[in-house]
Amino acid sequence: MRTSEADGFNHIYKLSFDGKSEQITKGNWDVIEFYGIDEKEGQIYFSAAQKDAISKGIYRINLDGSVISSISSETGYNEAEFTTGMKYFVKTYSNANTPPVYTLCDNLGKEISVLEDNIKLKTTLSGYNLSKKEFVKFQSGNTTLNGWMIKPVNFNPNQKYPVYVTIYGGPGHNEVSDSWDGNDYLYHQLLSQKGYIVVSVDPRGTMYRGSAFKKSTYLQLGKLETEDFINTAKELQKLPYVDPNRIGIQGWSFGGFMTSLAMTKGADYFKMGISVAPVTNWRYYDNIYTERFMRTPKENETGYDDNSPINFVHLLKGKYFLIHGSGDDNVHYQNSMEMINALVRANKQFDLFIYPNRNHGIYGGNTRNHLFTMMLDYTLENL
């Protein structure tokens, strides 16, 4: 068994020793993870985004592909860890506003035992004045993008609110999913309690919408994604309860790269940007990752140059905050140093904070608390 995108979506195929293949799963949806086979019962187990790109369900299908059935009934995000033999699995279920519940199930999805219901956490959260995360759509040209929105608790549609757009936008990871987002969820709730609408959106190039959507950014990482984030800002400006002059953006790693492009190429739409540990030129990033999507600089010079924030700093207008750990072993510190040099050459003022010897996650002691307190204060002052 293997998965392939041969028909435009990621599906399971059965391979024979004579080289022939037979497609088992079919449809305009992606298989996410292949779990295994129960040969005695003739069943294949897998997870898929069958309902939509923001949800994950657990399924089983006959070896000949004749009957497919869901073994997770809840709408949201379901993950499975099967025992040897595929007779039982531990299911992890959450949704955007519900912490994970862990249950032991049989291979038909019947719940045998609740292992952890997280009731203590749910009770604690109920004591806070939290807003619901809602799923929304944004239009970018002919493409509809998935997004979510958290509105202030005492939301008044007749008022105008600033918007904090939190992003990632890179290959292999979706920010918009109907799943529990832990600490980030609570930070975004804090922002909403401070009077901000918090929004996220998955641009072209992200997962579980088929091969063409995922691969549309090939050789041009940053181009279509920037267009999508700019068009999202334009869509937000049309909403009667949004202050069109107070839209900010924040991202980390690939999200920091996108934030930097949004603040330069999209300078007319974003008042503030917080870029954490950003790639600023793909020439400075790990080639085993970069060349998978961009090929080499020699083969794709314009793809690298046309989407590197350091080449567009002259367009910067808003408040730009650059943050990096000097010990980053993923997005190397050189990225921010070159961004600083470019900003200085262009005589652009900006804000900077360096965490000495911190890695890509910027961890250590009180570091995370310091970082998010600093980002909150910066947002309150500049957005």
Q: How far apart are CA 280 and CA 310, in angstroms?
A: 6
Considering the candidates 11, 179, 328, 336, report the single residue annotated as catalytic: 328
Instruction: Read off φ and ψ for residue 136, nearest 5 degrees.
Output: -135, 170
Beta bridge partners of 130: none
Q: Which one is catalytic: 7, 305, 360, 370?
A: 360
Specify whether 328 is catalytic: yes
- For residue 328, count CB atoms less than 10 angstroms from its CB and return exposed for 0-12, middle for 13-18, buried for 19 or more: buried
360: annotated active-site residue: yes
Backbone angles phi, psi at 293, to 5 degrees: -105, -25
Among the listed residues 55, 253, 260, 308, the single catalytic one is 253
Q: Residue 178 and residue 176: Cα distance in Å, rounded?
A: 7
| 4 is an active site residue | no
Known catalytic residues are 253, 328, 360
